[in-house]
Copies of this chain bind each other. A is one copy, B any other.
Amino acid sequence: MNKLSYGLLSFLSTYPQTGYDLMIRLNQFWHTNHSAIYPLLSELEEKGYVKHTLKEQQGKPDKKIYCITEYGIKTLKEWLMSTTEDAVIKDESMLKIYCFGILDKEIVEKILDEIEFNATNHLNKYVAALENFKGMDCPLNMQFFGAYLLVQKAISDAKLKVKWCQWVRSLYTEDGNLFDNKFMDFLDLF
């Protein structure tokens, strides 16, 4: 049982889904892709954590709709109670930011623009997802509560990133030097 396996069980804990669904939804919060998911689902089924039913389709491969078993839920809950490992984060933009000290303002601007652009895209995506939740007639029910929390988190993360980009820009003077107020802090509002 590797970490991705628990990711699949987690996302199957709310409602049955296909491997394709899992690829789309899980990937929003855990970097992965379909060729890692499909074989793992088969393995999880062999071990009895999940099972699938077929739904016939025309023009496309038949859907395999997976649902979690009692044993899968039990295993999932054991993992949920166990110590959480450190997040694995590999973000090229962090590396690029580290280099800002040796770069001219124009290049810094370009990289900042890209980071802010990506953050804004993320923000829009998650804001749209939030709209979907708000469009539902039901309240914060069991099935969507976790996803709702994650979307709220993603939105605030994205907003913070945009703010941070703007803060970094504010550290430069118009002629491309750094203001020499020594140590300005980001977001004292916290």
Contact = CB atoms under 8 A, between A and B. Distances in A.
Contacts of A54: none
Interface residues of A, number: 76
Contact of A96 (B80, B91, B145): B80
Given A97-B146, A149-B97, A88 B87 contact: no
What is the predominant secondary structure among interface residues of chain A facing chain B?
A: helix
Contacts of A86: 31, 118
A150 B84 contact: no
A66 B92 CA distance: 21
Interface in A154-190: 155-157, 159-160, 163-164, 167-168, 171, 178, 180, 182-183, 185-187, 189-190
Q: How many copies does the complex hold?
A: 2
A151 to B, nearest CB: 10
A87 B93 contact: yes
Interface string A97-121: 1111111000100110011001000
Nearest to A7: B95
B150 A98 contact: yes
Interface stretch (A8-16, A41-49, A56-64): A8-16
A172 to B, nearest CB: 11
Contacts of A147: 98
B145 A178 contact: yes
Given A81-B107, A84-B111, A97 B150 contact: yes
B164 A98 contact: no
Given A14-B101, A156-B160, A30 B186 contact: no
Nearest to A100: B146
Contacts of A80: 96, 99, 103, 107, 111
